[in-house]
Structure 1
Amino acid sequence: MSFLRLDNYTVPGFGLQAALSLKFKDEDASGDSSSTAKASKGTKGKRLECKVCIRYRDEADLRSLTSMAEAKQGGDGRVYTITNRTANAAGMRQGRFTGDFRADEQEDTRCWLVSFSLAEHISAPERAEAREAPRAVATQQNPGETIAPAAEPTVQDKQNLTWAERMLKKASDAIGGFDDAGGTTP
C-alpha cells in the first residue's frame, strides 16, 4: 500500500498512485547535418505526479488537502518534506505544489479523483551547481578604446590565488610588471 506524507500530514484517501518524472533539457547540436548529436542544457528538478481518491463523505479531507496545496511560505508555495517510496527512491526529499490541483467527481465510485504535482525543491543538480565556483565572465573590448588599468589586488585577492597563479605572479614581479602609463617598470 502506497502513502504520501507532506511534513507531518498524511495525504488522505485511497488508491494513491505516484509517478515520478525527470526532464533532461537538451538541444540539437548537429547543425545542418544528419547527425543525432545533442547538447545537454542541464537536468531539471524531479516532479511527483499524484492521484488519489477521496470519498464524498470525507469532504473535510479534500478541504484539508486543498489547504495544504494553497499554503504559502514567504510569498511562494510552501516547501514540504516528502515521505513516499517512489519520490524517496529517486532522491526527491522536498517539494512544493505546482501546476494544476484537480478534484474530479467520480459518480460511479462516489468519490473525487484528486490529482496534483509536487515539484522538487533544490534538486541534486541545483545543489551541485551551487557548489561549483562561479565562472569568470569574459568581456569584449572595442579596438581603440582606452581601458583603465586594473586595481592592485587586495590582500584577500592575493590569498585566493591558486598555486599556478602565485608562481606566475612571482615570475611577473621578477621580470618587471607594467606601470600605469603602459610601459614596463625597471
Structure 2
Amino acid sequence: MAFGSLVLAGGFASAVVWQSTRGSVVPWVVQVDKLGEAQVVAPAVADYRPTDPQIAWHLARFIEQVRSIPDDPVIVRQNWLRAYDYTTDRGAISLNDYARLNDPFAKVGKIQIAVEVSSVIRASPDSFRVAWIERRYENGSLASTERWTAILTIVIQQPRDADRLKANPLGVYVNAINWSKELS
C-alpha cells in the first residue's frame, strides 16, 4: 500500500514538472458592454485586429486628451502623456508641432475647453474621420462653440512588451493627424 502511494505520488510529481516545462499560458480577451457585462470571451489570437468600434473608442479618447483643456495643469499633462501612448514616432512629431504652435499649457487657468466627440467613422482602410464639438469657457461662462473634424491615419502594431500592453492593449496608433475647424 505504501509503495503504491509512493509510485502514485512520483507519477503526479513527474506530471506536474512536465506540465510546468511546457509553459503554455493562454491569454483571454473579454469584451464588455457599457454596463461592464461580459459579451464575448475567447482566447486571444496572435493576429488579432481590433474592430471599428474599438478603434473608434480609442480615437475618441485621443482627441479628447489632446484637444480639451481642463483647469488643472496636472490633468493636462497626464492627458498629453496618455495621448503619446497612442502615437507612432511620426504621430508624435505632429503632436509636438501642434503643441509648439498652440501651447495648450499656456492656456491653463485662462480658458477651459470641453470636447464632445460626436462621430468616428472609417474613411479608408487606414484612416478614420473624427468629428467633435469644442466648447470654450472663459471665467466660467461659455464663450464659444466650434465644430472640428480630423482625419486620423492609424497603424495597428501588436504590443511586444508589458509596458506597451498596459498603455495600449489593442495596439492602435495614430500615425498622421490632420484636423481643422469647420466653417459655419
Which band: TM-score by shorter chain?
under 0.3
TM-score scaled by length of structure 2: 0.22
| Larger helix fraction of residues | 2
Greater C-alpha radius of gyration: 1
